[in-house]
A = this chain, B = another copy of it.
Amino acid sequence: MPSDRLFGPSLTTPAMLRATSDEAWLVAMLRFESALATAQGRLGLISPDAAGRIAAVCDPAGFDVALIGTQAAVSASPVVPVIARLRQLAGDAAGPYVHRDATSQDVIDSAMMLVARDGLDLLLDDLSTLARACLMLAQRHRETPMAARTLLRAALPTTFGCKAGMWLQGLMESRRRLRVIRRDRLAVQLAGPAGTLNRPDLVAELASELALRTPALPWHTARGRVVELGGALVQAAGAAAKIAGDVLLLVQDEVGEVTLAEAGASSAMAHKRNAAAAVEAQAAFKTACAQAWVLSASAAGEHERAAGAWQAEWPALSELLRMTAGAVGRTLETVGALRPDAERMRDNLERYVPPPHDEHIRAAAAVAGRAIEMYTKELRDD
C-alpha cells in the first residue's frame, strides 16, 4: 500500500516508485533473459540467430504485466508466464533456447539485484544531497550555540553545527555501507534448477552483460547478500529518520529553534503549520524496520529453494527500497526547508543550561569542524 497512488507519494519518492514498480521488475527479468541469450550466443552455446532473436523480443512492450501477475499466482513465480510468453514471441526456431540453463530463481534473484542497483543509485544520490545539506548546516552553524538535550532534558551547551555534524555522521556511515554493497555484493545469479550449475564462464559473461558482480558460487540458498542489503537500507532510513525526529522536536512551538519554510497545512486549523515531510520520514522508517525484519527472518529457507521465505523477499525488498527512499527524501525536504533560529537557540540555552557555556561551545565547534573536514573530503573524493 505504501506504494499506492494515494499513500505512496507521502512515503517514498516518485523516482523510487518507478524504479521498484511492476514494470521495473518486468524489465529486469527481461534484461536477464536477454543477457543470458546474448552471453550464451557469445560463448557458442546457442546460435547467434537464436541469441539475437531472443534479445530482440525481450521488450516489455510485448508483455502484459497484470496478466503475468495473475498467471504467476499459479506457480508462485512470475517467471513461468514470462518464459511462456517469451518462447511464444521468440518463435519455433529460437523459442527452445529461451531461459536455457536457468531457473526461476536465477531470473528473480538477478532481477532483484538489478532493481536494487537502480534503487541504490537513486538512494545514494539523495543520501549525498542530504549529506551535503547537513554539511552546509554544520559549516554555517559551526559556532551557533544551543542546548544539547539528553533524555529530552537540556544538558550542556553544544552548537547547531555540531548537531548537524552528528546527523552527517549517521548519513555518511550508511552511505559507506551502501556504496560497498553497491560495488561488491550485487551479483548475478545463475545456478540452474538445483543450484548446481557449474558454468563459471557463462556466469561471468552474463554478469559482465548485466554489469553485476560475478559470484564465486551460486547463492540460491546463501542469502547473505539480501540480508546485508536489507540491513544497509534500514540503517540509511534510520540515519535520515534521526534527523527528521530531531527537527520535529526542535520545531515544537515551545522550543522553536528551527522553523520550516514550506510547512504543511492542517485540514482544520488555519494557524497551524506541520512539519509534514518530517512526519512522513518517521512513518517511512517505521515501515522500513518491518521490511528489514522480513529479509533477516527469510535467511533460513528450506533446502535448495525456500517455500515461502524466498517469495517474501521480493515485495519486502521493493518496499524497503521505497521506504528508505521516503525516509531519506522526506528528510531532504525537511532539511532544505529548515531555518535555524539562532536567537531562540541562545535564549533556550541561557534559560535552561547553567553556565559556564563558552568552553563547551568551543569544544562543540571543534567537533563540528572535524566532521566538516572529514566529510567534505569524503564527499568530494567519491
Contact = CB atoms under 8 A, between A and B. Distances in A.
A276 to B, nearest CB: 4
A221 interface: yes
A61 to B, nearest CB: 16
Interface string A145-175: 0011111111111110011011101100110
Contacts of A169: 217, 219, 222, 224
A153 B239 contact: no
Interface stretch (A37-45, A121-129, A204-212, A264-272): A264-272
A26 B103 CA distance: 41
Interface in A1-44: 1-11, 20-22, 25-26
Contacts of A315: 1-2, 4, 7, 11, 287
B158 A299 contact: no
Nearest to A71: B9
B251 A252 contact: no
A358 to B, nearest CB: 12
Interface residues of A, number: 164
A47 interface: no
Interface in A226-257: 227-228, 230-232, 234-235, 238-239, 241-242, 244-246, 248-249, 251-256
B75 A238 contact: no
Interface in A270-318: 271-283, 285-287, 289-294, 296-309, 311-312, 314-316, 318
A104 interface: yes
Closest 10 CB pairs of A and B: A282-B308, A238-B299, A231-B231, A148-B194, A173-B224, A150-B305, A1-B315, A1-B318, A75-B264, A76-B276
Contact of A294 (B149, B287, B305): B287
Interface stretch (A48-56, A89-97, A363-371): A363-371
A299 B222 contact: no
Given A7-B69, A166-B222, A293-B296, 11 more contacts: A80-B264, A105-B150, A148-B195, A153-B251, A158-B195, A162-B195, A170-B224, A217-B374, A280-B308, A281-B308, A292-B293
A294 B300 contact: no
B198 A367 contact: yes
A65 interface: yes
A364 B196 contact: yes
A377 to B, nearest CB: 11
Contact of A309 (B153, B286, B366): B286
Contacts of A155: 193-194, 266, 269, 272, 304-305
